[in-house]
Amino acid sequence: MRWLTVLVLTLITACSQTPTPSLYQQLGGDAGISAITDGLLYEIEHDNRIVHHFADTDIERFRRLLAEQLCEISGGPCTYTGGSMAESHTGFNITLADYDALVGHLIKVMQQQHISISAQNQLLALLAPMYKDISYR
C-alpha cells in the first residue's frame, strides 16, 4: 500500500512538472563537463596571458576539482571537495584581464561543444559572481 502511494505521488509530480532538464543535463552531463574541463585546460595551456599562474599547479588535481565544481554548481550528482574560491586563488593576484581571458575560453569551449546559448548563460551567471572571491588576492 505504501509503495502504491509512493508510486502514485511520483507519477503525479513527474507529470505536473514540465521536465526542464537541469543545467547539468543541458551541459551534457558527466561527459559534457569532462569535455568542457579538458577544453578549458587546453585553452589555458595555450594562452601566454594566463598559463604562468598554473606553473606550480597539480594539473590532475585541478582538473578533477574544476569538473567536480562545474558538476556541483550545475546541479549534478557531485560534491565539490576542493578549497573555497577565495582560498584557492589567494597569492595569484588574478586580474580582471585574467578573468576575462578564462571566461573567453569557457565561452569558446562551450560554443565548440554546441551547448545552447541559454545553458551557456546559466553557467556564466553562476561563475561571474565568483569574481569577487577570485580576483586580486
Task: Catalog residues that contact another protein under the rule CB under 8 A.
Answer: 49, 95-97, 99-101, 103-104, 107, 111, 116-119, 121-122, 124-125, 128-129, 131-132, 135
Nearer to another protein among residue 67 and residue 119 (C-beta): 119
Angstrom distance (rounded) from CA 87 to CA 71: 20
Pick 28 or 66: Cβ nearer ligand HEM? 66
Smallest gap from residue 8 Cβ to ligand HEM (A): 41
The residues binding ligand HEM (CB under 6 A) are 50, 53-54, 57, 62, 65-66, 69, 82-83, 88-89, 92, 94, 98-99, 102, 127, 130, 134
Name the percent of the chain in helix, strand, coil, to the closest 5: 70, 0, 30
Query: How far is the C-alpha of 23 from the C-alpha of 119, rounded, in Å?
Result: 6
- Residue closer to ligand HEM by CB (options 9, 86) is 86
The H or E element that residue 83 is part of is none
Q: Are 24 and 36 in contact (CB under 8 A)?
A: no
Q: Which is nearer to ligand HEM, 60 or 114 (CB)?
A: 60
Residue 54 is classified by DSSP as G
